[in-house]
Structure 1
Amino acid sequence: MKELKMDLITILEGNIRKNNQKNWFSFLLVQKALVEKHFEWLILDIDTKSRSLNANGFLNIGNKYYSIKLSFSPFHLFRYDRIFINNKPIRYNDDIHLYSDLSLCLYHPIIDQPVLRKIALYEIIPWIIEWIVFYEQWKKYGVWFGKEIKHRRIQ
């Protein structure tokens, strides 16, 4: 019975992605409106060629500025978001939470994803600040203090 339930959830979640892809423009338009309502520091636009919502902005944390670039799309593999820090030389390390393309790992795309719902972009954006704080602490102390699921880059 448990296998049947998991198969059904997997099918339904796949349907959510397919529906978001089918209605990608209106899906991204809603995401854009929600982000603009909550985060004035981001400049957003919908790129019709890549079928993605793109944004750029600056965060001021302490006395440092961080240039943030992001792309959000139901056509990205595994997770909808790709978030980068552009103006800091961050190198991949197994101990910090980055993907091999140097996009930020802000949540586990399977474990942290709510059942039958995708995480909205406006919910993810505050995690960028948390990631930066944990990254600065990691540089200072050599320990990642944030909640984490250990992962290793696949060679």
Structure 2
Amino acid sequence: MGQFVLLVLVLLGALITVPLGERLGLPAPVLMTLLGILLAVLPFVPNVDVPPGIVLPLLLPPLLYAAARRTSWREFAANWRPIFLLAVALVFVTTAAVAAVAHALVPGCRRPPPWRSAPWSRRPTRSRPRPWPGGSGCRGAWCRCWRARGCSTT
């Protein structure tokens, strides 16, 4: 019951912040963020555990639909370059940054050269299973899984 009351309070807060934002001259998302921070700090507000599997299919589409309905085609055509850079180019920049951080922080994380990482440049896999690298020195849960799948000839 506590989660339902919290949901009703959040919806009520969203309804109140929109006209309050217009009156104060602040964007409604800023006020909603401040309201969320206030609710997170209060000790009597229960913790809400939202499963990550429902965020993408249930919460994100209404937000994207509302934003798409408010955008005019004229604004979209006038701002196509920043939209493209944020939607496409920033994905590549983020991917490169995550790869660089993983390479720096994870021991043994090696990057193949760019010409070896392309799928068309790889050699086809052999049809017979390959032995475990290093011979019979395989120990632990990984090796049991490796052998159970028939990947080891030893």
Give the TM bin, normalised by the shorter chain. Answer: under 0.3
User: Whose radius of gyration is greater, 1 or 2?
Assistant: 2
Bigger strand share: 1
More helix by share: 2
TM-score, normalised to structure 1, is 0.22
Higher relative contact order by CA 8 Å / sep ≥ 6: 1 or 2?
1
Structure 2 length-normalised TM: 0.22
